[in-house]
């Protein structure tokens, strides 16, 4: 491999790192202003490595691909790995669809290779190792929250067989995301957080937002258009939505400095491409907002079923940084009209009912297309302590019963595995489909409660996967050079695009005992036993004797005198 590239050289003199030794790194940042005044920023970092972790040969020389993940892939025979950490809930109706959807908390789903014999054991070890890498409590993933979906979560990478025995999916809705998860995530990048777009990732600003999600996706991809050999792709994505009132003090004026408290000075020297895209589709003549510094580069991409136009800033060109050697993009609003394209698929979920014994889970799926209907696959994984009554499952659309064309239900086993419900439902056009199921809450053993049981127990988000009809023709050629954010989900047909929507997680209260009761019971019982037993013992064993009262002092002296005289006492 070529070594000795001097990275300290002046940036306009240094040779741009093209595909060397099969390693390639690209970074991009997409900024999309939202109609509610918030702004959505999505970082994508992609490392592609032409190597083969399988086939038994030891890989010992790592360059851009992080060694910790490479060792995980080869040791646990992983075919695909997707892990995401999210804080906040993505509001589809106000913000549209995200580029990479993710549920609140932590989510991990893995496809193993065919050569793995004990998938469950490997899964357990993998979660422990990942909890060390990402500083998260992923070791709480065990058989009680792992499911094996039978139709959802098909592999996103290339492959020919899809035997669902090698798929495992788990979520931890309670998982907190903070700087300690961002720190190891940043260390996986080739440039770390020292150069390129990653310098913008400052935790104080990133976590002061409405939505923050960071994810790592590893999958095999085609090396070239012939697709005879594979290479490994590592994508690190970070999606963040900044709130108008928290971060911008209510003024509709966004800049890189306001969002991230940093400006850009250079691209990552190890990157073959480093770009910033700003979505100006709603602003064709510049009447809504203006972007400065202006750029002549424009790009069009079909993403999420819509053709969007972007202003492109290429950070590998020195001219982007101008004379001040730093780039601070400014987006200033002039008028606030216009409405957003309504997302075609949207879902909600809530718990109905009262009391601490029974309840009902309602999942609502909205199809906002005026005349097309499309199928959705709903995946529900409910913990064992909510006992679902599947005979009460109803699916209704527009008031009428809607029979799903495929149902897969795996009942739970107490303390062993959760419920798994997968259904393929056809959503009629312009309608709301409601899925309801009743449940009963279980009483846990007193050692199974968390230290703060009155907070409640979380039920993970439902996953709705669907092929939504697209307004514009999607690009099915997977090898053409496209921006990273539009090439996440593979596209097989032109008329629809794949989308995954996550509902809210639920927070249910289980009947919680009063944990001071053992102490109270012991005290009370001991008191009662002591008092009761003591009284009973006294009653049974106490004997009464007649005792004369002791005589007064005068009488005692008189008795002494009489004893001396030899006369009987008084």
Partner 1 sequence: IYLFTYFFFLLLYIAFMLFIVFDNAGQFFSSGHTNNWAVLVCTSRFWFNYRHVANTLSVYRSVKRLGIPDSHIVLMLADDMACNHRNPKPATVFSHKNMELNVYGDDVEVDYRGYEVTVENFLRVLTGRLPPSTPRSKRLLSDDRSNILIYLTGHGGNGFLKFQDSEEISNVELADAFEQMWQKRRYNELLFIIDTCQGASMYERFYSPNLMALASSQVGEDSLSHQPDLAIGVHLMDRYTFYLLEFLEDIHPASKTNMNDLFKVCPKSQCVSTPGHRTDLFLRDPGSVLITDFFGSVRKVEITMETINLTDPINPVNGELQIRKYSYVDQLPVSEIIHQKPKQKDWHPPDGFILGLWTLILLVFFKLYGMKHLKHIF
With CB under 8 A as the contact rule, the residue among 4, 18, 55, 335 that binds partner 1 is: 55
Cβ pair 345, 498 in contact under 8 A = no
Distance (Å, whole) CA 551 – CA 553: 7
Q: Note whether 160 binds partner 1 by CB under 8 A.
A: yes
Kindly identify the residues of this chain, within the stretch 70-89, that bind partner 1 according to CB under 8 A.
87
Kindly identify the residues of this chain, within the stretch 211-230, that bind partner 1 according to CB under 8 A.
222, 226-230
The smaller minimum CB distance to partner 1, of residues 202 and 362, is found at 202
Please report how close the Cβ of residue 171 comes to partner 1 at its closest, in angstroms.
16
Q: Note whether 132 binds partner 1 by CB under 8 A.
A: yes
Please report how close the Cβ of residue 224 comes to partner 1 at its closest, in angstroms.
11
Q: Note whether 445 binds partner 1 by CB under 8 A.
A: no
Stretch that binds partner 1, among 4-12, 159-167, 384-392, 556-564 (CB under 8 A): 159-167
Please report how close the Cβ of residue 289 comes to partner 1 at its closest, in angstroms.
27
Kindly identify the residues of this chain, within the stretch 168-197, that bind partner 1 according to CB under 8 A.
174, 176-180, 183-184
SS3 524: helix
The smaller minimum CB distance to partner 1, of residues 249 and 335, is found at 249
Distance (Å, whole) CA 447 – CA 159: 45
Please report how close the Cβ of residue 133 comes to partner 1 at its closest, in angstroms.
7
Tell me how many degrees the CA angle 346-349-350 measures, rounded to the nearest 5. 150
The smaller minimum CB distance to partner 1, of residues 206 and 218, is found at 206
Please report how close the Cβ of residue 344 comes to partner 1 at its closest, in angstroms.
15
Q: Note whether 257 binds partner 1 by CB under 8 A.
A: no
With CB under 8 A as the contact rule, the residue among 362, 387, 408, 482 that binds partner 1 is: 408
Distance (Å, whole) CA 485 – CA 423: 29
- Tell me which H or E stretch contains 420: strand 419-427
> What's CA 526's distance to the chain center, in Å?
50
With CB under 8 A as the contact rule, the residue among 208, 307, 325, 563 that binds partner 1 is: 208
Residues in the chain: 570
Q: Note whether 372 binds partner 1 by CB under 8 A.
A: no
How far does the chain reach from its first CA to its final CA, in angstroms?
125
With CB under 8 A as the contact rule, the residue among 37, 159, 428, 429 that binds partner 1 is: 159
Which residue, 551, 7, 1, is CA-closest to 271?
7
Please report how close the Cβ of residue 377 comes to partner 1 at its closest, in angstroms.
6
Q: Note whether 48 binds partner 1 by CB under 8 A.
A: no
For 57-124, the DSSP string reads PPP---SSS-HHHHHHHHHHTEEEEEEEEEES---HHHH---SS---SEEEEEEEEPTT-S-HHHHHH
Tell me how many degrees the CA angle 141-144-150 measures, rounded to the nearest 5. 95
Q: Which residues contact 286 (CB under 8 A, 6 or more apart)?
A: none
The smaller minimum CB distance to partner 1, of residues 48 and 136, is found at 136
Report the half-sphere exposure of 6 (CA within 13 A, side-chain side): 7
Distance (Å, whole) CA 351 – CA 388: 13
Q: Which two tokens stand for residue 209?
A: 């937002």
Distance (Å, whole) CA 398 – CA 506: 25
SS3 556: helix
> Per-residue string for binding with partner 1, 103-122, x by CB under 8 A?
--------------------
Q: Note whether 446 binds partner 1 by CB under 8 A.
A: no
Q: Note whether 465 binds partner 1 by CB under 8 A.
A: yes
Q: Note whether 155 binds partner 1 by CB under 8 A.
A: yes
Q: Which positions touch partner 1 (CB under 8 A)?
A: 51-52, 55, 57-61, 87, 124-125, 128-129, 131-133, 135-137, 139-140, 150-151, 154-160, 162, 174, 176-180, 183-184, 202-204, 206-208, 222, 226-230, 375, 377, 405-406, 408, 424, 450-452, 465-467, 478, 489-490, 492, 498, 515
């Amino acid at each position: 491999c070529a070594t000795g590239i001097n990275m300290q050289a002046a940036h306009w003199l240094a040779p741009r790192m093209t595909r060397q030794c099969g390693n390639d790194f690209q970074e991009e940042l997409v900024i999309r202003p939202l109609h509610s005044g918030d702004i959505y920023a999505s970082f994508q970092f992609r490392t592609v490595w032409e190597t083969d972790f399988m086939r038994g040969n030891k890989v010992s020389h790592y360059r851009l691909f992080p060694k910790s993940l490479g060792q995980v892939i080869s040791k646990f025979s992983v075919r695909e790995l997707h892990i995401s950490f999210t804080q906040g809930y993505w509001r589809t109706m106000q913000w549209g669809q995200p580029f990479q959807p993710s549920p609140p908390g932590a989510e991990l789903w893995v496809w193993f290779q065919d050569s793995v014999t004990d998938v469950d054991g490997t899964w357990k070890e993998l979660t422990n190792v990942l909890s060390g890498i990402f500083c998260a409590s992923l070791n709480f993933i065990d058989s009680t929250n792992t499911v094996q979906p039978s139709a959802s979560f098909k592999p996103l990478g290339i492959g020919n067989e899809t035997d669902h025995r090698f798929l495992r999916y788990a979520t931890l809705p309670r998982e907190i995301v903070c700087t300690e998860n961002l720190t190891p995530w940043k260390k996986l990048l080739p440039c770390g957080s020292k150069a390129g777009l990653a310098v913008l990732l400052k935790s104080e600003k990133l976590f002061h937002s409405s939505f923050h999600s960071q994810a790592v996706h590893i999958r095999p991809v085609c090396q070239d258009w012939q697709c005879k050999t594979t290479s490994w792709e590592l994508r690190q994505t970070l999606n963040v939505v900044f709130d108008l009132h928290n971060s911008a003090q209510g003024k509709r004026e966004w800049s890189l400095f306001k969002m991230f408290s940093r400006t850009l000075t250079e691209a990552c020297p190890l990157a073959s491409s480093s770009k910033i895209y700003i979505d100006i589709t709603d602003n064709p003549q510049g009447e809504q907002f203006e972007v400065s510094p202006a750029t002549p580069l424009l790009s069009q991409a079909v993403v999420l079923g819509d053709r969007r136009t972007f202003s492109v800033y290429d950070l590998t060109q020195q001219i982007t940084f101008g004379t001040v050697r730093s780039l601070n993009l400014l987006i200033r609003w002039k008028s606030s009209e216009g409405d957003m394209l309504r997302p075609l698929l949207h879902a909600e979920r809530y718990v109905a009912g009262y009391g601490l014994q029974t309840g009902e889970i309602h999942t609502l799926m909205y199809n906002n297309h005026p005349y097309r209907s499309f199928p959705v696959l709903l995946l529900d994984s409910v913990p064992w302590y909510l006992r679902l009554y599947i005979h009460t499952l109803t699916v209704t659309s527009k008031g009428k019963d809607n029979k799903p064309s495929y149902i897969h239900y795996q009942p739970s086993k107490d303390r062993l595995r959760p419920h798994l419900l997968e259904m393929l439902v056809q959503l009629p056009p312009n309608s709301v489909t409601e899925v309801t199921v009743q449940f009963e809450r279980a009483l846990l053993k007193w050692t199974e409660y968390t230290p703060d049981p009155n907070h409640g127990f979380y039920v993970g988000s439902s996953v709705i996967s669907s092929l939504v009809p697209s307004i514009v023709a999607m690009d099915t050629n997977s090898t053409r050079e496209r921006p990273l954010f539009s090439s996440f989900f593979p596209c097989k047909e032109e008329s629809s695009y794949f989308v995954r929507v996550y509902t809210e997680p639920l927070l249910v209260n289980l009947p919680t005992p009063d944990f001071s009761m053992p102490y109270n019971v012991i005290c009370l019982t001991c008191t009662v036993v002591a008092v009761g037993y003591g009284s009973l013992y006294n009653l049974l064993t106490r004997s009464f004797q007649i005792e004369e009262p002791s005589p007064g002092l005068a009488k005692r002296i008189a008795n002494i005198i009489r004893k001396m005289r030899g006369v009987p006492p008084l």
